[in-house]
Amino acid sequence: MDNKQCIRTLENTLESPLDCLGWALFKEHAGAFDAGETGNTARVIGVRKNSFVLSNGCEEWLAFPAGRLRQAGETFPAAGDWVQFREKLVTKVLPRKNTLSRGAAGLRHGKDGGALKQQIMATNVDTVFIVSGLDRDFNLRRLERYLTLVYNCGMMPVIVLTKADLQEGAQIFVYEAEHVAPGVPVHLVSARTEAGISVLERYLEPGRTVVLVGSSGAGKSTLVNRLAGAPVQATGEVSGSVGKGRHTTTSRDLILMPQGGMIIDNPGIREIAFWDMAEPGALGAATSAFPEIEELARGCRFADCRHLHEPDCNVLQGLADGIIIPERLESYRKMQREMDYLALRQECHSSGQVEKKRRKDISKQVKALKKRHW
Ligand SMILES: Nc1nc2c(ncn2[C@@H]2O[C@H](COP(=O)(O)OP(=O)(O)OP(=O)(O)O)[C@@H](O)[C@H]2O)c(=O)[nH]1
Ligand SMILES: [Mg+2]
Ligand SMILES: [Zn+2]
């Protein structure tokens, strides 16, 4: 035993113990980098306040980020990352296959003035389970937001409608979800009765990583426990009066499942804010949460049509013809506005600069108008 101060040892008979954490698949995807010797490679399986739990498939231990990783331009570790370490120090984060992140409000009175920050929920993920409880949690507009978030991050969404035991005729929710999520698998399950659970195992093939997102109290951790066949995660009651969970899960942990895959359980999300990833304009991405609107948008006269009151807007025509559902168009426009603002914000780095740029743009427009008048 070296200086790693192991928290747990695992029995692993694989030739490359890292493969039980998905190393072989990661390497294949992330291909274009030289990982060097794997003797000092590990995966981040837990995120604590100032430390990380690392695993190399044989041992798990607490490690701390090298000071350098906090510098601008460096990648700070997150749950699911593949890293290089020196004993108890994480020295480098290997290039990510993908990153599931959202915007989170910063400290309102802090020096960042409440600016949106990137919050990473998981990295190097194969499938995202959008978990929605069929109690008071089910909401189509919210599903659309989750789908946009997942597509935005270039990941594969799967909708899991849980607590099916609480609804008679729960199948109707499946149809509704399928309607707003064309092409996305929708699974109806109950962690209480175990109905439908085994179907989810197909996403947990050896080496694959699934991440769970959803509101607090949706039933994410209960689902993990049911799939694991053991109480590996704490679960909490939903408040009877407001129908909301109590944020039982507070940290991000990657759990090795008996099926061979892994699950990253997440704390419940209060508000789904986006964080624009490298892909510009998620709503224009190849996979979209609003394919029917984007299909029609290609026929608009202007390439940058906002589908508000522009002439020859194919989307507005679709709305008039009843091809597009008004609520979905409203959802789409709202998200498009958010995404545009986010892009501008990231361009300007801080909300203060965004406001400055906005004011500058407006004064430019006013000047141009005045010029025209005189
Ligand atoms: N009836 C029923 N209740 C369930 C089911 N799954 C979960 N619950 C209950 O829902 C409540 C919340 O479950 P959790 O698994 O803690 O929810 P969570 O999504 O992990 O919540 P956070 O950790 O706060 O984000 C618990 O009281 C569970 O017993 C189900 O399939 N049927
Ligand atoms: Mg939980
Ligand atoms: Zn249009």
Whether the CB of 103 sits within 6 Å of ligand 1: no
pLDDT digits (tens, 9 = 90+) for 158-200: 999 999 999 999 999 999 999 999 899 999 999 999 999 999 9
DSSP state of 207: T
Mean pLDDT of 340-344: 78
- Does residue 37 carry a pLDDT above 90? no
Mean pLDDT of the chain: 86
- Using CA atoms of 164, 166, 167, 172 in order, give the dihedral in degrees to the nearest 10: -30
DSSP class of residue 40?
Answer: G
pLDDT recorded at residue 137: 87
CA distance 174 to 233: 27
> What is the reported pLDDT for 340?
81
216 pocket-lining for ligand 1 (C-beta < 6 Å): yes
pLDDT surpasses 90 at 239: no
| Ligand 1 lined by 222 (C-beta under 6 Å) | yes
Q: Whose CA is nearest to atom 24 of ligand 1?
A: 247
Residue 1, pLDDT above cutoff 50: no
Q: Other CB atoms closer than 10 Å to residue 292's CB: what's the count?
A: 17
| Non-local CB neighbours of 98 within 8 Å, separated by 6+ positions | 123, 124, 125, 153, 154, 155
Mean pLDDT of 147-161: 93
Using CA atoms, how far apart are residues 234 and 353, in angstroms rounded to an integer? 43
How many angstroms does the Cα of residue 46 sit away from the middle of ligand 2?
14
* Of 232, 275, 263, residue with least CA distance to 106: 275
- Please tell me which residue, 43 or 347, carries the higher pLDDT value: 43
User: Residue 234's pLDDT is what?
Assistant: 87
Distance (angstroms) between ligand 3 centre and the Cα of 308 equals 7
Q: Tell me how far apart the alpha carbons of residues 86 and 37 are, in angstroms, rounded to a whole number.
A: 13
CA-closest candidate to residue 100, choices 125, 73, 70: 125
Q: Domains, the chain, ranges and CATH?
A: 6-96 (2.30.30.140), 100-265 (3.40.50.300), 282-373 (no CATH)
Q: What is the pLDDT of residues 91-105, one digit of tens each?
A: 999 999 999 999 887
Does residue 51 register a pLDDT over 70? Answer: yes
Report pLDDT for 199: 97
Write the pLDDT tens digit of every residue in 284-300.
Answer: 445 688 989 999 999 99
Ligand 1 within 6 A of CB of 226: no
Residue 312 has pLDDT above 60, yes or no: yes
At residue 282, the pLDDT reads: 42
Q: Is the CB of 121 under 6 A from ligand 1?
A: no
Helix intervals (H) in 95-250: 140-152, 171-180, 220-228
More confident residue, 114 or 230: 230
Q: Which residues surround ligand 2, an ion (CB under 5 A)?
A: 220-221, 248-249
